[in-house]
Chains A and B, each alone.
Chain A
């Protein structure tokens, strides 16, 4: 008998032995694919089948989408496939865990590779055939229900290919776990380890860094690395990422081909394990005794660290850290020994290993706790740093970062959306290069000292209560590497001075405001917005270019000192050609994307060049006064007593609406638009406590209704008597 014939016969015989697995496969896929599709299709045909030529409504489209998803990225079917991968691997190679079965199969005149391939192939081909059959039936049902073929497209077979590739990967991984173990339960546990160890270990490493190092900052590169480790260190995570891609309509063929190649390599490795697996391993926990120690160490140390950090979070003292670490190490070691020996009394076997693992875990925990690495206290020498990028915690988070990107809606039609990219920090890291390092390093020294104090007091910043500024700095070292740290800087006098130096640095501004990189050639239009009303600035090309240059110059010259004293009058937007085109494109179908609200910059009273250029264009920003204000409503949700206490119960709340021009005149200087306040976190305001203020603007001729603006009251700008008259109380 040829090997091929024998292999087919063995496959047939194997399938006979595993009819229960086949039955579960059929039932699982039937109820996760075919039955839901049939149910939904019958409903669809009843509702919309009568007139297939009728225009597709949005409700109908949603139903079509739901039905097609059942034949495509069907979460329930994916869950069933994951279960099936374990089931087929376990049932296929479970005979290796039973000495009677091993004696039987290994004594018959059949080459072991045929035994392996007949079982391995069945574990893939049978579910693949059942799944394909149901996919074909589902596609046929969908078409028969009246859903057009172009709506179904090729998703059904793409989903089949994608799911089978990743099913095979999971199945082969589970088979590897079965090869490495000699007991079914241990094999299933091993599969769990293979599925989850990589992501969990990566998460633990980053958790360790984040937990112990006050100055650790998760950069985009580190985030990418974590993402990649999670994606590629676990077949399960890899599958989930692929499913997400497919769900978003991304048919990542190279990734699927890569997964197939990895599966093939893994299958060869599993076969290699099968070849060298001793028959006498049946019934033992681990098939290869040499793997016991490394696996144990790889589980004990992370478990010890997790326990240590957990107890430290509950009670941040060294004693509880050590308690958690030792507990974790001992517990996991004992569990592993019990599993290895199948004997509870062996829980303290290999005491030397237990001692070494515990000692190493304790060292790791203490090294983190006391920063023996010197991570937090490290501040580079200025000579080793080429340049630095900094993000100031009081920062300008109103700045729009990112760019326009083309997207597709559910109908497949293109529109423009705004891709915010990686946000401010990463923009700064990419664009800011401060070479005046003295203030940068001074703030870093301040932050490192604060971190040391925090560590010695075993407190968290959140609990410390002192006034601190979050400060992120990335150094470009002379050796080409980049080092990133985040600090909480104690804002003493020296720090304030260093902060002003950094803020006023032109390299800082160039790196934080994308507008300063904008070139006049790309300019399409300018809009000025004041008190929620945006108006185009009617200028010719030269005028627009002049306005842009004026604004850029004002922004560059603005100092921290001036920002502490003034708030914006309004905001200005320099629209690029691309923005204009995108807004026009979106106008009909996607106006909600709000592209017109992006990229506004504040115009301060001190921006003389800008204001002059605006004046030339006929725009005169107005200060808050009784001429433009209809009324001021002050809602006192808390009532202040003379001793500074306040009562914010609802029955003491009261509302006051001031419409009298005289009253408005008195209050107007204190009115600060919350939108403008948010654009200047450095502004030194004395807030009125327990009040919510809304200002109703006078309705202009071309407005359908008056604008209502949310404001705060700055008591610095009005006299104490006025504040008292209106029952306004300052809060720190």
Chain B
């Protein structure tokens, strides 16, 4: 399990990651979502030992990551803009990775390259952005590590490839308990693959929860209240967001479905319906609570 405790990283006056504590269990897909500049990439660079924390710690199964080769051999980091040696071919990258990752699966690498219809003897700098992403993902999964840190890895992949990569991840999770940790702001991409989500905002972690729990604990409520009643009269509901269109009230509320339903029932609305939230809506709601108002940006 990866644990971060009070993880902090500052770049001059900017605190990119601010006392983040999170647990990432093995065998699940951890989605790291956040606004632009939230610190997702910095968090991944801290996890991968590229950056040294100013405060706090990053451990994998209790061992510090920074400058610990044994620990580092348990993960593969795919950065947002992965570096390949100049004029190198995928095969040459494979040879290098094989040197440093003892469990690198050469046969699988060749097989995946063929499956993705990538020429492993062609120079990578002649590949498109999406093809380079594919090469980096193939290198990552073939490294045979327990964890795969992906920074915006799906960005640039076409839908078919995205599905293919997801399939590979799922297969590896089943076969060898791979734990992908995926940072992205494309929430729709993460929604159907992530088991657990960490929401970063301005360097701090807003929440870190199982996606199902998260979805079960936040709801969109559309209702028409009896005349003379306002949203404030709905006692027992934790309202995060409120919208009124005529008599139709749209609320984003926190709490379990049963609790929300019970509170609604007590108010006896004319009409009420609970609608599940998408991850994107959850993200917007949660960030709005801490002042990231999307309407301001849109306006």
Q: Which parts of A1-37 form the interface with B (CB within 8 Å)?
A: 1, 6, 9-10, 13, 16-17
- Do the beta carbons of B99 and A13 come within 8 Å of each other? yes
Query: Which residues in B have their C-beta under 8 angstroms from that of A1?
Result: 102
- Do the beta carbons of A111 and B101 come within 8 Å of each other? no
- Assuming the contacts A1-B102, A110-B100, asked whether A102 and B67 have C-beta atoms less than 8 A apart, the reply is no
Distance A104 CA – B149 CA, assembled complex (angstroms): 12
Distance A557 CA – B102 CA, assembled complex (angstroms): 95
- Assuming the contacts A6-B99, A9-B99, A289-B12, asked whether A104 and B72 have C-beta atoms less than 8 A apart, the reply is no
Among B82-90, B163-171, B181-189, B230-238, the one that faces the other chain is B82-90
- The verdict on B109 contacting chain A, using a C-beta distance below 8 Å, is no
Interface size on A, residues (CB 8 A): 24
Distance A30 CA – B153 CA, assembled complex (angstroms): 47
- Assuming the contacts A103-B50, A104-B79, A111-B69, asked whether A17 and B99 have C-beta atoms less than 8 A apart, the reply is no
- The verdict on B52 contacting chain A, using a C-beta distance below 8 Å, is yes
- Assuming the contacts A13-B96, A13-B99, asked whether A100 and B83 have C-beta atoms less than 8 A apart, the reply is yes
- The verdict on A280 contacting chain B, using a C-beta distance below 8 Å, is yes
Distance A195 CA – B82 CA, assembled complex (angstroms): 36
- Assuming the contacts A109-B101, A279-B50, A279-B51, asked whether A103 and B85 have C-beta atoms less than 8 A apart, the reply is no
Distance A107 CA – B49 CA, assembled complex (angstroms): 6
A10 to chain B, nearest CB (A): 8
A468 to chain B, nearest CB (A): 61
- The verdict on A101 contacting chain B, using a C-beta distance below 8 Å, is yes
Query: Which residues in B have their C-beta under 8 angstroms from that of A289?
Result: 12
- The verdict on B154 contacting chain A, using a C-beta distance below 8 Å, is no
- Do the beta carbons of B67 and A111 come within 8 Å of each other? yes
Q: Which residue of chain A has its CB nearest to the CB of B145?
A: A109
- Do the beta carbons of B100 and A109 come within 8 Å of each other? yes
- Do the beta carbons of A109 and B73 come within 8 Å of each other? yes
**Interchain CB contact (< 8 A) of A17 among B81, B86, B97, B101:** B86
- Assuming the contacts A6-B99, A9-B99, asked whether A106 and B49 have C-beta atoms less than 8 A apart, the reply is yes
- The verdict on A704 contacting chain B, using a C-beta distance below 8 Å, is no
A200 to chain B, nearest CB (A): 32
Per-residue CB contact flags for chain B residues 38-80 toward chain A (1 = under 8 Å, else 0) read: 0000000100111110000000000000010111110011010
- Do the beta carbons of B77 and A103 come within 8 Å of each other? yes
Q: Which parts of A74-123 form the interface with B (CB within 8 Å)?
A: 98, 100-104, 106-112
- The verdict on A278 contacting chain B, using a C-beta distance below 8 Å, is yes
Distance A279 CA – B73 CA, assembled complex (angstroms): 19
B289 to chain A, nearest CB (A): 31
Distance A727 CA – B79 CA, assembled complex (angstroms): 98
Query: Which residues in A have their C-beta under 8 angstroms from that of B69?
Result: 109-111
Query: Which residues in B have their C-beta under 8 angstroms from that of A104?
Result: 79, 82-83
- Do the beta carbons of B79 and A103 come within 8 Å of each other? yes
A447 to chain B, nearest CB (A): 57
- Do the beta carbons of B99 and A109 come within 8 Å of each other? no
Q: Which parts of B6-32 form the interface with A (CB within 8 Å)?
A: 11-12
**Interchain CB contact (< 8 A) of B11 among A110, A111, A280:** A280
Q: Which residue of chain A has its CB nearest to the CB of B50?
A: A106
Q: Which residue of chain A has its CB nearest to the CB of B54?
A: A278
Q: Which residue of chain B has its CB nearest to the CB of A106?
A: B50
Query: Which residues in B have their C-beta under 8 angstroms from that of A102?
Result: 50
Query: Which residues in B have their C-beta under 8 angstroms from that of A111?
Result: 67, 69
Distance A101 CA – B81 CA, assembled complex (angstroms): 10
A182 to chain B, nearest CB (A): 13
Q: Which residue of chain A has its CB nearest to the CB of B151?
A: A103
A331 to chain B, nearest CB (A): 27
Distance A112 CA – B85 CA, assembled complex (angstroms): 18
Query: Which residues in A have their C-beta under 8 angstroms from that of B77?
Result: 103, 107
**Which of B85, B100, B101 has the most C-beta atoms of chain A within 10 angstroms of its own C-beta?**
B100
Query: Which residues in B have their C-beta under 8 angstroms from that of A17?
Result: 85-86
Distance A299 CA – B30 CA, assembled complex (angstroms): 51
Per-residue CB contact flags for chain A residues 552-587 toward chain B (1 = under 8 Å, else 0) read: 000000000000000000000000000000000000
Query: Which residues in B have their C-beta under 8 angstroms from that of A13?
Result: 96, 99
Distance A279 CA – B51 CA, assembled complex (angstroms): 6
- Do the beta carbons of A101 and B102 come within 8 Å of each other? no
Q: Which residue of chain B has its CB nearest to the CB of A9?
A: B99
Q: Which parts of B78-129 form the interface with A (CB within 8 Å)?
A: 79, 81-83, 85-86, 92, 96-97, 99-102
Query: Which residues in A have their C-beta under 8 angstroms from that of B48?
Result: 103, 106-107
- Assuming the contacts A17-B86, A106-B50, A111-B67, asked whether A100 and B72 have C-beta atoms less than 8 A apart, the reply is no
A343 to chain B, nearest CB (A): 15
Q: Which parts of A656-713 form the interface with B (CB within 8 Å)?
A: none
Per-residue CB contact flags for chain B residues 167-178 toward chain A (1 = under 8 Å, else 0) read: 000000000000
Query: Which residues in A have their C-beta under 8 angstroms from that of B79?
Result: 100, 103-104, 107
Q: Which residue of chain B has its CB nearest to the CB of A13?
A: B96
Query: Which residues in A have their C-beta under 8 angstroms from that of B101?
Result: 108-109
Distance A106 CA – B86 CA, assembled complex (angstroms): 18
Distance A325 CA – B82 CA, assembled complex (angstroms): 49
Distance A17 CA – B83 CA, assembled complex (angstroms): 13
Distance A280 CA – B45 CA, assembled complex (angstroms): 10
- Do the beta carbons of A100 and B100 come within 8 Å of each other? no
B252 to chain A, nearest CB (A): 37
Distance A16 CA – B99 CA, assembled complex (angstroms): 14
Per-residue CB contact flags for chain A residues 584-604 toward chain B (1 = under 8 Å, else 0) read: 000000000000000000000
- Do the beta carbons of A107 and B50 come within 8 Å of each other? yes
Query: Which residues in A have their C-beta under 8 angstroms from that of B85?
Result: 17
**Interchain CB contact (< 8 A) of A109 among B11, B51, B72, B86:** B72
Distance A559 CA – B251 CA, assembled complex (angstroms): 118
B: residues with CB less than 8 A from A are 11-12, 45, 48-52, 67, 69-73, 76-77, 79, 81-83, 85-86, 92, 96-97, 99-102
**Known A100-B82, A278-B52; further 5 A-B contacts with Cβ < 8 A:** A103-B45, A107-B49, A110-B69, A111-B67, A289-B12
Interchain residue pairs A-B with the least CB separation, the first 7: A109-B73, A109-B72, A107-B77, A104-B83, A100-B83, A107-B48, A106-B50
A: residues with CB less than 8 A from B are 1, 6, 9-10, 13, 16-17, 98, 100-104, 106-112, 278-280, 289
16 pairs from A and B in contact (CB 8 Å cutoff):
A1-B102, A6-B99, A106-B48, A106-B50, A107-B45, A107-B76, A108-B101, A109-B69, A109-B73, A109-B101, A112-B67, A278-B51, A278-B52, A279-B50, A279-B52, A280-B51
